[in-house]
Structure 1
């Protein structure tokens, strides 16, 4: 019995030695290679995020998956790493820098949310909708569905930018409450079950999206985001396609948003809109923010050129067009020493997507007359390439008036317009915020310094 006890003790002793040796052996395994989401900030992406957002704006960008940042009631996928920098570059260019330019560095550094959380999929809700973004406590913006982000797709980019501006508007409303007058414009038609509302119904009632119909706060944020990202042309077209009551509501909401930013926040909303549009138009080539697209949609019915307007003193047209205009103007004046007709303006009247009337408005001391010249035009809504072709004149008083100065018109304005290709664009590029949404024109293809522009109108 004693011998057996010794054997047992000896075996246990050997086992203890073996166990002790295992504890002391070095564990030569690098666990970091098993963790593709290494939390150590040692990648090029982390360095860029730190330098661009954390150091400059005290913004922490969280892209490594954390289930506690999206709520326990949702299943959300992590964002793909290659989507992070393109998305955050868009945040910088299309959101932070426009506010910094217009409102100042102090404002944006103080009010910008200090945490951006990124997820790859949408956060799906029980009503079959899914969340694209949230704002929390004025300090956090969470963005979802980033795995579908495509930097070459203007529609995708605009959608994300709208989400960011929407959520930031909520943050601004937490700092300065949204105006009461906005909440009263369509007070009777807000609907918590917005997922059953169609785009057409929302539009007819004076909303930019079905989601806007859910409550005043979402309506205000959606209206702001669409004015900034989709642009004024889109907003005007949306309003024009509504009912009489719906259009009035949309324009009243626009006025309330502009006033809120200008008066309550001290931010020039039109200047902010201009800065955002520069990025969306020039960097991302978002088609529905471009002038050729809206010419193709026949949103703009007129473009009026009056080189005596102070606008052209500050933002002149090219010498070639100015010479043609002034020569034609001189011929009208020289026609009668007694009447001394004066060229008031030249107006391009887009009768349809192919028919154009070039109208010369001229007057004597008491009466203004119109002289109409018939053209056709073609436009590529994507590239902006435009051609003008003289067509057979119509009949009637305005065409008879035009015939009086036909020779001069043929040798000046008509000669400038025909036989060459133009590019339609918003211009001048450096125009001020007050006129940013109301001027556009045409430059000679291949010679962008040879151009003319005018003030846009939406009715004939």
Structure 2
């Protein structure tokens, strides 16, 4: 038996020797075609990432799959290669460049993450939620769920941008701790099991999202991100729709965030907010960042045109066509035989479909108003607006006696509003960060130079 085993072994050894010594041509196999995620290849995408992020900001972008970056306890899919550049372009436009413009290159070099890691799917948690991104060690941001990224959908882009700013806020807090006062504003209502909390309940308790109610760190990141990416109008609408206590909490959190950036980090928070909103509005065409959208939601209840009393008109004068009508109305009111003085005009948006004009005037030291009703046909997508004179809105002096008294003098203004088709917009363009989102107005369709604007009221 041993002899037979030896023979078999000897035969196998002999075959192995023959095979190992056989002379053959080298195999001509291109492994890059078998493995499309070839880490050696210097693709155009790699070149763009290196030039745009590594060389300019010392930021490494890792998109080739590596289990090390998401941990052994999760199953996460690799990112599709065609999603990488669109996502990182959003990082550049909506995150790095605004911070660079407002805070400067030194800030970017000191605080910006040194590594972005990209994955295609979400990272699911035991409570059935899934993680969209993480920040670690003050230097790394990992972004998940990128295979659903759609560059043609503004909502998708803005939501991803929101995720990036959320995680960067965590990085800032890891380097410069968040304010203690922020943590005390809604201390009694934080809830670890936040997935059971409805959005309505979170809003009523003073949170921008249910996730914000999970703990102070997430609350601070969600609040900051909402102010920067969704914008001031969204945040004000959230606060106005809350309870009295919830609104107080939300506005207190806003003040704490602004102070953290201004005092602790040395960044003009309002200037940063303005730069990010410009990208969201003009580059991504995000509808909820537009003035028509919020006018249609009836967030803004009034618009005051006070050419003589508001200093902003010195820096941004009213257009010549509107000023001509406005000044003629002022002169005509003064010419009435009652000793009247025109003060200002106010547009009251009583609903998303109704508006009235309020003319404020004096007789001596006493102040009066006259009012004139309009319907308002507003297209929230385009901003196109048509005002049509409506039936008298009431029977008190402002609607009847005063209105009739001033009508000959104000009729040209009433006609200006009813005879033109307007476009609602944030006006004036180029307004400083302090006044950003505080003013809005209308320009004549097809003639942007014919416009008026005023201070918005909620």
- TM class by shorter chain equals over 0.9
Find out whether 1:351 has 2:350 as its counterpart.
yes
Secondary structure at the counterpart of residue 49 of structure 2: helix
Cα displacement (A) at 1:279 = 0.8
Secondary structure at the counterpart of residue 49 of structure 1: helix
Question: Which whole-Å CA distance do the structure 2 matches of 1:12 and 1:351 have between them?
Answer: 96
Match of 1:418 in 2: 418
Match of 1:231 in 2: 231
Question: Which whole-Å CA distance do the structure 1 matches of 2:16 and 2:370 have between them?
Answer: 110
Question: Which whole-Å CA distance do the structure 2 matches of 1:34 and 1:282 have between them?
Answer: 42
Cα displacement (A) at 1:13 = 7.1
Change (3 A) 1:310 1:14: closer
Match of 1:54 in 2: 54
Aligned length: 448
User: In the TM superposition, what are the counterparts of 1:441-456 in structure 2 within 5 Å?
Assistant: 441-456=441-456
Find out whether 1:397 has 2:397 as its counterpart.
yes
Cα displacement (A) at 1:326 = 0.8
Cα displacement (A) at 1:14 = 8.3
Match of 1:318 in 2: 319
Question: Which whole-Å CA distance do the structure 1 matches of 2:80 and 2:353 have between them?
Answer: 46
Match of 1:209 in 2: 209
Structure 1 segments unaligned to the other structure (5+ residues) = none
Q: CA RMSD in A?
A: 1.8
Change (3 A) 1:20 1:388: same
Match of 1:83 in 2: 83
Secondary structure at the counterpart of residue 278 of structure 1: helix
Question: Which whole-Å CA distance do the structure 2 matches of 1:291 and 1:14 have between them?
Answer: 82
**Contact 1:132–1:145 under 8 Å retained in 2:** yes
Secondary structure at the counterpart of residue 428 of structure 1: coil
Structure 2 segments unaligned to the other structure (5+ residues) = 1-5
Question: Which whole-Å CA distance do the structure 2 matches of 1:365 and 1:93 have between them?
Answer: 55
User: In the TM superposition, what are the counterparts of 1:30-429 in structure 2 within 5 Å?
Assistant: 30-308=30-308, 309-336=310-337, 339=339, 341-394=340-393, 395-399=395-399, 400-411=401-412, 413-429=413-429
**Contact 1:331–1:405 under 8 Å retained in 2:** no
**Contact 1:41–1:47 under 8 Å retained in 2:** no
Cα displacement (A) at 1:129 = 0.4
1:59-115 Cα distance to aligned partner (Å, 9 max, x none): 111111111101111110111111111111111111111111111122112211010
Question: Which whole-Å CA distance do the structure 2 matches of 1:202 and 1:12 have between them?
Answer: 75
Question: Which whole-Å CA distance do the structure 2 matches of 1:76 and 1:296 have between them?
Answer: 41
Cα displacement (A) at 1:191 = 0.9
1:109-132 Cα distance to aligned partner (Å, 9 max, x none): 221101000111100000010000
1:294-329 Cα distance to aligned partner (Å, 9 max, x none): 111111000001112210110122111111111101
Query: Which segment drifts farther, 413-422 or 51-60?
Result: 413-422
Secondary structure at the counterpart of residue 343 of structure 1: strand
Question: Which whole-Å CA distance do the structure 2 matches of 1:248 and 1:10 have between them?
Answer: 89
Cα displacement (A) at 1:18 = 4.5
Cα displacement (A) at 1:392 = 2.5
Query: Which segment drifts farther, 247-256 or 11-20?
Result: 11-20
Question: Which whole-Å CA distance do the structure 2 matches of 1:9 and 1:204 have between them?
Answer: 84
**Contact 1:197–1:210 under 8 Å retained in 2:** yes
Change (3 A) 1:20 1:439: same
Question: Which whole-Å CA distance do the structure 2 matches of 1:406 and 1:325 have between them?
Answer: 14
